[in-house]
Structure formats: C-alpha cells, structure tokens
Structure 1
C-alpha cells in the first residue's frame, strides 16, 4: 500500500469534515450484512457494532517501545486486565473513506478504512467493475515518528466470529490456506451449519469472513482465543505456534483471527504502513422467486474466492487512488456549487456509504446481467421497498443511475409477471405498482400480501424511471460513454407503465383513503402531498413517452397532469400555504414530492406553490428542523433535504444546518437516523436506512 497516496487522501478528506461528530462512524460498510460502525466518540471507547447495535469484535493494539496501547476496542478487551488507550486526535468521514488519527509517546498512528464497493463507478465513467464490486474493506495502518526520535513499533489487529453469525451461541469453524493467495496469510471463519438464506435476522449466519494480509516477513497470524492472541501481543510474547482446533461456539473462548507486525524501528525518515483485507463471501445472496442468485463478484471471478482475494491485494493501491479521485470529485462539486459547503459536505459524505451499504449486487444468471437489491434496514427488513428506494433516489440518480436501474429491474419483472422463469410463478394482478418483493433475503411476496400503497408506489416507480432517463441523457451529453440514455430496456414494459399511468388518471386528483410512505404517522386520507406524487408521476410518464418518440400518448398524459394541478391548487389551498389533507383546514405538511417536478423540468406546479410552501416552513422551523407535518414534532432527514433543495438559498442553508446539528449533537449514537424530534434531536426510530441518500437532492441540480 502506497503510504503517500493514503496520506494525501487523509488530508483531503480531513480538511472537509474533521470538526464533525457523526452519530456513528462507518468502518466496514459494504452491504446490509457486512455493516460495522463505531458508535462512540473514540474508536477505543467501545467495540464496533453492527448497524443493529450488536457487538462486532474488532480490536486494534499498538506497542511503542515496549508499552502496549489500544486504538480499537474497549478497556475490557482482555477480559481481566486493562490496556490503556492511545490518544485519539481526529476522526473524519469521507464518501468512501474513514480515518482516525492517534498520537502517543512521540508516534503518530493513522487508521484508515476504505472500500471500493462504495465507489461511484458511474461518475468515474469506469466500466471495469471487477475491482469495485468485491465485498472488501481495507484497513490501512500507518505509523510515523512525530518527535524525530526512533521508536520500536509493533501493530496488532483481530476480529471475532461475530460478523459471521446470527448470535454468539452458534458453532463456528475456521481455516487458513497460506497457498490459496500466494504471498499472503489468509484466515477465514464462519458457522458450521451454513444454512444459506434460511434465516431472516438482520445478521448473516452463512458464508465466511476473511482476514488476509501480505506475508512481508515481519507478520504473524494465528486463530486462537481472544485472550491468548491479545495477551501474547500485549505482553511482548510471540503468538502460539498452532491455531486452535475447530469447531466451538462463537462465544466459547471467543476465537479470533489475529495479525501482528513487528515494524522494527520507525524514525523521522522511515514511516511504515500495513494493510488488511477484510472480506465476506456470502456464497449466495438473494432468492428471487425460487432462484438463488450469487454475489456479482462470484460471477466475475468464476466462484473463486482466492482469485477475488488476489485481486483485492493486487488492486489495493489502485483502489486507494480511486477512492481519492471519487472523494475529491465529490468534495470539489460541493465546494463549487453548494455555498456554504462545510455542513452539507459533512452530512452528505456520511450518507454515501450508508445508502450504498444498504444494497447487494448479484448476478442474474437467467438474464445474464447484474441486478441490485436493497434492504429496508431497521424498519421491517423488506426487499426493494419502492417507497424506500424513492427517498434514497437522489444519491442513486446522481451517482449511480445505472445501479438504480438495476434496482428497479426485479420490481418491473415481478409486476410484469416474469417470475415463472425463476421457478416460482406468483402472478401479479394489481393495476398499480408493487410495494416490495419479500423479506430479506427472500423475494416471494404474493400481491395480496403487499402493504398496499397504490398511488405512492405507482408514482414512485414512474418518477424514478424518468429520473434515470434524464440523468443518463445528461451524462451522455457530458461524454460518459458508459452511460447511454437509451430507453431500450423499457420495451417490454410500456404496456405496464401505461397501465400504471391509467391507474393514476382514474384516481386523481384525490387519492382517497390511501396510505402514503409516511404510514408510521397513521392514515392520512385525501393527502395533498400524495396527490402531488400522483400528478408528478403522470408527468414523468409523459416525459418517458416523449423521449421514446410516443408524442401523442405523452401529450395525453401531460394534459391530464396539468388539469389535475389546477384542481389540486383549488382543493389544497389554505391561505398562506397548502393543506396536509384536502378536507382539513388549518393543517400543513412538507410537500417534498415537488422535487421531481423541478428536476425533470415538468413545470407542472407554478413557482407560486414553491414560494408559498417554503415561506410557511420557515415559520415552523425548530432547532433541528421543520416537522413533517402538524401532527407531531418529529421529522424525516430525507424529506427535509428534499424541501431544502427546492427552496431559496437562505432556506436551504437553514435546513441544512438543522440536519447537521441533529447529526452532530443527537444523544442517540446510532447510524444516521432519518426519523427524529426537531426540538430535542432525539431519535424517534429507524437507523442506518439507505433513505438518507435523499440528502443528495441538491446535487440533482448541478451538472
């Protein structure tokens, strides 16, 4: 690993976000199962955790001139005797990179986590997915002398089996194969039973976690109990000569995959750096109507884990450079177009990996193409929930439009009755769009078992498809050759899309007694914001038809949408704002569904609607933002930032600062919540959900 490269990356990201205190810091965030965070001010205050709050036993130690300190994991990690900590000086989160800076006894330690799977392949116009779509996070450790003196330095890392089990009572086994990845020490651990896709918990209990390091002559590895491994290093002893014999329970003397390095003398002119590849092989990721789908990397590497790990090691420096480019691109875009940029940059970069980390890329061997699935993290665990994709869509549209298209394909195939090819035919017979596909990781939901949100999901699907088309056309104009604006993939689906459009026409301008995505607040019949979604959905369909050359049909739907806007303005008007429900005077709500009317350039709603609403929101502003509506004090992070992006500069700044204040000051240390109280900053519910991609709404309006 090139030390200079990573230190440059460190300086770039640190300059943008070092003052920010995230509610939780992303460490190893690749997908809904491989999702590990630090929920403390200092990396050594507590063990890292899974997004669900369960401990993930990652530990880090350093010996400086014979004295042992810890940089990751709590004081009790030896379960009997304590180890002091180094002094943490800084933590900063970039889009694809997290870094910590520590100081102790004249030595500086940089701890850097970065992941290629968090890379914005689209914005880099890179068609070589092999180095990005691997389930790997790199942990880089760099040591340098700050006082100009020579110091003898040793480093240590271990992880338990907790990332590979559903609970710590499960039996685990482990192995190593020094020849599988030539020139490297590679250890793996996983459950004994290996029951693929047979549990629905938030944690995985099949597949294997890998810890792999270069064999550079001064490295030692062992698979043994936590006390044996950590105690040996802490007391300056060599690791045990042999690994423990498997199997045993995860919590039985806590077997760990342990690594130590003796870096020798580190002085002013000879800094040292080592890295670890942390990978997870799920073997199988998703079952789609009876058919198992493997992680996409397994297709790329012919189901060869060793080849994937060889690639991970071979591309370590290149991926560090790609992270630098992606992070630099994003920071540059923000500083150029968002003013002031600092607070927005902090919350947007925190949202990046959380959003991407809610997805799993798989190989559809029936169609011979990649598909993507998204988990509704912490709010039900559903697969490809349309009204979770929708609030996350600004980030996906702006950075990953091709990936968003691959997220929508499983939904389109289900709604279009294409599941027979996968072995389990469940006819979809509703005239509106599905709500979701099943409970993660199984897609097998019958239409009558859906949580029915007819106008919500129908509008969402049409809007997102149109947003992809617009974004891809913009990219094509900018010379992104890998991003064609073609609508060819929609050829089998035009009858379906028109059926959805006809459903909207027959149910507007009043949605009646329907649920919307804010169903956690209870029913809201005659919902004015939901009506906006239906109207914009019709406009989105007209946009798509126009782009495909179906001009007469496009005009038909567009005229219907315009007529409904006139009715909406009359029915929803409440003087200085518009109502939450047509039938309830003196009510109000955030009309976030206006966002895509503006982005798609439909101009269905006049500027006066935006001006009136935005001015009214200012009157309702609390310390941590504007409530979602008049019924409660809480709000949604995503919808707030959607509103900010369609209001004036002062209002954007005020709302952005309120969301930043919540993330920076909330007493609840969980991965970025999207549901919290605007007066106290306390989390109402939800954590780690990919909907925080909605923070990127403002980015839709820059090139």
Structure 2
C-alpha cells in the first residue's frame, strides 16, 4: 500500500535523523508513479519507478524510455557494507539498508535509509535555473549522500555506473581524468555517429560522466573492472585499487569517498552526459551554453561541484516558493502535481550557442518531442508546455521560437501556414526544405501567434515582435481565410486522425486573430477573430442543439450535426490568461457546467472519440473554468492527482491515462486499465500543468 505524508519541509527531511527503522516507507507529498533522479536534457534522463522504492538498495533505475541503467551506491560503516541504492547482486557479506522515506520537490528526489545506527540520505538533485544560462545548460546532476548519527563512525561511500549509459554494449571505452581534487570517469564509444540515437532514444555520441571531488576531510579512490570484483574490493577494504587500465563489456567504473571518523557528513557525486556537438541546426553544430566559459569537460564538472552551494540554495527557494504558490492557487493536490512537473518540462530542452564561435549573444533553446515522435521544436508541443515557461522564465518562449522563426525567415519554408517542427528527429533541426512534414495548418499558425503574444506581453519586448511581424501577419492572414472554413486536417492530437471543421481549431484561430490584432494594433484582425467567436458560440454554429456544449465539429451539414459529440475545449484557455475577451464569459460558464456531465470512471475523456484523458489539456480546461474555487477546476485537478496516486502506473509522469472503458476500436480498447497510463512518457508538454498558476501572471520566480 502506498502511503502519503503531506508536504514535509525539504530542508528538515534532508537533515533529520531517523531513530527507528520503519517497516514501510512514508511518502511525501505523495507516492508518484516514477521519481526523476537525474533529469537535465533528453539524454540525461534517469528515473526510478515508484514501485521500487521499498527495494531501493536493489532497485534498477531506468532511462525515460524504460531501459535499465546502472547506478550503484554502497556505504561501509565500521567495516560493514550496506547496499543503499541500485545493487541487485551479491556484494560479499553486504546487507541492505532499511528504507525509511521518500520525498520529492520540484528539483530534488530524496530517500532516507538506515544502516546500522547511521541514517543515510540520498538526494538526487537536478537544478532548474532558467535565468542562469550557465547553470541551466550544464549537462550534469548531483547525487548527494549524507550521513547522520549520534556518534562518530568510520564511513566510506561508493558509487559506480556501467556501459548501459552509452546504449552500445561491448563498444564502450573508459577514461579516468584526475586534476587537482577532481576524479572524472568518462564512458564513450569511439567513432560513434554524431547526432544519432539508439532505437530507445539514447544518444550514440558523447560521453557519460561520473565524477567526485575530495577536500581536506576526505579522500577519493577509483577503479574499473568487473562489477563483482570492484564492489567486493570496496566492501573488504573501504577503498578502490586505483586500477583503471581495463574496461570491457559489463564492467563498471567506480569512485569511493573515505570520510574517516564522522558523525555527520555530506559528499557529492556528479553524473552527466556531455555532447560537445549537441544540436545540428541547419547543418551547423550548436553546443551547450556553458562551453563559452568551460570548454572542456573537466573544467565544466569542476565548476559544477563548486557551484553546488549556490545551486542548492536557489533550489530550496524555488521549491518552497512553487509549493506555496501552487497551494495558494488551487490547493495541495495541485501542488503535488506542479512539484513533480518542472524537471520533466525543462528536461526536454537544451540551451545552446554556436559550436564554432561560442557566441553567447546567439542563444537558442531546442526541445525534443520526447516519447511521441522525436521532432525538434514542435510548435504544438511548445504551445501546451508554454505555461511553465511563462510563469518561471518567459524568455524561454523566445529562445524556443528563435530556431523556428529564423528558419522561416530564410524563405526555405514556403507554405502559407506555419511549419509543424524544424526537424523530423532530434537533435537534427535541419528544417523541411522539401515542404514535407506533418502539416497542421490552422493548429500551428495559431500556436506561433499565441506563443509570440505570450512572450511579448510578458517581457514587453515589442522590438522582437516587430522584427518578425511579417511572419506573424502571414499566418494571421492564413487564419483569416481558413480558420473558419477548415479543410480536413490534423490538430495537435494527431493520433485521433484528421477532421474538417474542428471546433477546437476554430476557437484557436479566433483567439489568435484577436491576439495578433491586439498586439500589433490592427483592429481588423481582432474584429475577424471576434466575428469567428460570434458565429461559433453566440450564433450557435459550434453548439449542440440545446446549447449546453461545444461539439467536436461545427457546421450545419448532417455530418457535423451530432449533439452527442463533444471535446474538452482547451484552446479557449489563451482567451482567459491573456484577457482578450474573444468569447463572452457565458461560454466559459457553459463549459464549466458541462464537463462534470461527461466525467467518466477516472476522468473526462479528451473528446467523444477517445477513452483517454490528458493531464495538460485538462489543466488548461481547468484554468479556463471561471472562479478561484470552481468545482470543475477542482474536478480536473483531482482527476490528475488520482492518476498520479492510484498505484497503477510506473512510467515517468505520463500525460495520458484511460478515463473510461474502451470500445475495442481504433482509438480505445476494451481491455484498457481504467486509471492506467495509455501511452507517452516524460514529455515536456506537462509544462501545461502550470496553466492555473499562470493566471497569476508571468515571471513569478
């Protein structure tokens, strides 16, 4: 049974000593499907399935796609070795530590264990610092091991990884670099193809990093070799041999701290994945922003260790502020959802500069459409994710749009509507000069205008808007002619297939036109958008005959006139957050009254064709429901929270779950597990969970 301990202080939990062994761990704020451990970018994305917490000493962490990755942590106390994390095999006479508790915040996943009379705390810390481009771009995470006891003990701490991180069995080579007090292992594959992935989305090029840094109070030893040999060596002596001359398939690289006699101590390991040529943008290599200052991995890792105190302090402030703001905005269930979101949302992005010039005035952010199809900077992924960027770091919206707009400005994309993405598969942002892509004409044309509106109004950077106005106007013109006369086409939920006259798309077109007209002081576009809204709602074109809800498709033709069809009208949310008043307030009240009538066993299906619901789109619908304490808003929040806490799921924060029994047809199946996750893992679209908090305005952190 999964237990829940609501909202303990992160600082208190980190430093508290637990005097007794607890049979079943306690969980704070909830027991999620999966814990983010090291989540910084699409290729550094390590998770722990929630059902493995009770067996933490022998657990197997995973890459976001589900394949096992190694990360072993041992502790030696007065000569007795304890398994703390990720060591399923035998290690001499080692015993398993007892797991006391597990907690997460927006930047930390923390686990408390007891080994003899010593309490150990494992803190997996992935910084989120989007206003500090150097810190945010570093492709490393901290693994902090802390000890606490009422008296001093002789303590050593060990960690290892293997070639599972490179995704290429038998081809990995190991290199150890020591520089001053830094010990740095790098695992790589010689001759690996740049800008390529395994079929399970791991990078084939670059280097995995495991590092440690000693100070005057401790020493660090190292070794590589067979896991059994290296771990047993540590268990028997508390140190490693220093032999790193061999590394073959299934070997490990390991680092160990000797803390000596201590009653309280804390040490850091760094784990990361470095790709100096990170992104292929139109044939030009781009690299991490940090490399303008630290051009080799050793210096970057050294800075990362030196930056720990400042990054940690910032994280505590961010974590506490987010929990407070989320709770005040919509309650503790909403806070539980939001605090699990940031690492995943930002972990789908990378901050880059040109690899040749390292010019920090040319910054671009790239986002991978993780789990669905791997596209680069997909507009209908940036769009649902934008609330988190709007709240935390509005400048990120511009950084994500720049690669799209610069490519569009080049003239290589010649269609009258906005492009869907700038690359079929990450990290190759090579455009679509052949004009072949997954066309979503109204969808993406509306998205790019609304994203621009969000950024410009949040930052008052009207000069940037003027720079690209001709592009935005081109797409506003397209929406003016096509937004209410929609041919058969795809929308963002492309798995549902193409339709003509999609109400959600027409609503997006109406609001985007009003946004464009408002932004550039051209009432003709605003008037057109408002006229669309008048037709759809006031004149009832997109309503059922009883005018209780918007239908899936609009129009008077028999093929569209189906009163039982419906959709969660998430695209109306921008009208709320931006205060554009494209639609009258009665439209929002109508929706809030209707949604509870289609609540299923585990949620509100996204539309009448499907048996599943969406965490981020229903978050948008919740935010568009009027009233600070609206019952419909609470309904949507509670549906998502139930999905996170029902114990049926272990995927890295999937955004889609089965809400009602399926029919066995194309979209849903009769064997669906109600409350279980349908598909998709670790997608950055979860940034849309911030939709309610975003109503309080941009740049809140």
TM-score (norm 1): 0.88
Deviates more, 1:658-667 or 1:594-603: 658-667
Match of 1:25 in 2: 35
Query: What are the within-5 Å matches in structure 2 for residues 94-109 of structure 1?
Result: 94-109=105-120
2:465 pairs with 1:469: no
2:413 pairs with 1:428: yes
Match for residue 324 of structure 1 among 316, 319, 322: 316
Match for residue 561 of structure 1 among 512, 529, 553: 529
Deviates more, 1:563-572 or 1:16-25: 16-25
The 3 A distance-change label for structure 1 pair 120 and 441 is closer
Query: What are the within-5 Å matches in structure 2 for residues 256-267 of structure 1?
Result: 256-266=252-262
Match for residue 66 of structure 1 among 79, 84, 95: 79
Q: In 2, Cα distance between the equivalents of 1:101 and 1:534?
A: 51
- The 8 Å contact of residues 17 and 346 in structure 1, kept in 2 or not, is answered as no
Q: Deviations over 1:617-669 (max 9, x none)?
A: 11112343211011222011110111111214222222111101101225231
- What is the CA-CA distance between 1:95 and the residue it aligns to? 1.1
- SS of equivalent to 1:235: helix
Match for residue 306 of structure 2 among 314, 317, 327: 314
Match of 2:595 in 1: 617
- The 8 Å contact of residues 434 and 447 in structure 1, kept in 2 or not, is answered as no
Match of 1:213 in 2: 212
- What is the CA-CA distance between 1:224 and the residue it aligns to? 2.3
- The 8 Å contact of residues 430 and 447 in structure 1, kept in 2 or not, is answered as no
Match of 2:3 in 1: none
Q: CA RMSD in A?
A: 2.3
Q: In 2, Cα distance between the equivalents of 1:220 and 1:676?
A: 46
Q: Deviations over 1:204-237 (max 9, x none)?
A: 1211122221223432222222122212123346
- The 8 Å contact of residues 422 and 429 in structure 2, kept in 1 or not, is answered as yes
- What is the CA-CA distance between 1:408 and the residue it aligns to? 0.5
- What is the CA-CA distance between 1:36 and the residue it aligns to? 0.6
2:254 pairs with 1:277: no
- What is the CA-CA distance between 1:319 and the residue it aligns to? 1.1
- What is the CA-CA distance between 1:90 and the residue it aligns to? 1.5
- SS of equivalent to 1:259: strand
- What is the CA-CA distance between 1:66 and the residue it aligns to? 2.9
Give the number of equivalent residue pairs: 644
2:620 pairs with 1:642: yes
Match of 1:338 in 2: 329
Match of 1:244 in 2: 245
Match for residue 413 of structure 1 among 401, 406, 411: 406
- SS of equivalent to 1:271: strand
Match of 1:228 in 2: 229
Structure 1: state its 5+ residue gaps. 122-127, 419-426, 473-484, 546-550
Match for residue 550 of structure 2 among 578, 600, 603: 578
- SS of equivalent to 1:353: helix
- The 8 Å contact of residues 153 and 264 in structure 1, kept in 2 or not, is answered as yes
Match for residue 45 of structure 2 among 18, 31, 35: 35
Higher helix share: 1
Match for residue 599 of structure 1 among 577, 593, 602: 577
2:288 pairs with 1:289: no
Match of 2:389 in 1: 396
- What is the CA-CA distance between 1:109 and the residue it aligns to? 0.8
Q: In 1, Cα distance between the equivalents of 2:313 and 2:197?
A: 38
- The 8 Å contact of residues 623 and 658 in structure 1, kept in 2 or not, is answered as no
Match of 1:539 in 2: 514
Match of 1:489 in 2: 464
Q: In 2, Cα distance between the equivalents of 1:199 and 1:322?
A: 34
The 3 A distance-change label for structure 1 pair 63 and 102 is same
- The 8 Å contact of residues 40 and 46 in structure 1, kept in 2 or not, is answered as no
- SS of equivalent to 1:76: coil
- What is the CA-CA distance between 1:401 and the residue it aligns to? 1.2
Q: In 1, Cα distance between the equivalents of 2:384 and 2:569?
A: 13
Q: Deviations over 1:495-534 (max 9, x none)?
A: 1111100000001323231110111112232111111111
Match for residue 498 of structure 1 among 439, 460, 473: 473
The 3 A distance-change label for structure 1 pair 413 and 265 is same
- The 8 Å contact of residues 463 and 537 in structure 1, kept in 2 or not, is answered as yes
Deviates more, 1:521-530 or 1:362-371: 362-371
Q: In 1, Cα distance between the equivalents of 2:452 and 2:27?
A: 33
Q: In 2, Cα distance between the equivalents of 1:77 and 1:409?
A: 52
2:283 pairs with 1:304: no
Q: In 2, Cα distance between the equivalents of 1:66 and 1:654?
A: 54
- The 8 Å contact of residues 188 and 209 in structure 1, kept in 2 or not, is answered as yes
Match of 1:155 in 2: 157
Q: Deviations over 1:458-512 (max 9, x none)?
A: 001100110112222xxxxxxxxxxxx2222233321111110000000132323
The 3 A distance-change label for structure 1 pair 6 and 24 is closer
2:158 pairs with 1:166: no
- The 8 Å contact of residues 353 and 364 in structure 2, kept in 1 or not, is answered as yes
Match for residue 674 of structure 1 among 647, 650, 655: 655
- SS of equivalent to 1:132: helix
Q: In 2, Cα distance between the equivalents of 1:278 and 1:9?
A: 23
- The 8 Å contact of residues 509 and 567 in structure 1, kept in 2 or not, is answered as no
Structure 2: state its 5+ residue gaps. 1-8, 19-25, 555-559, 661-673
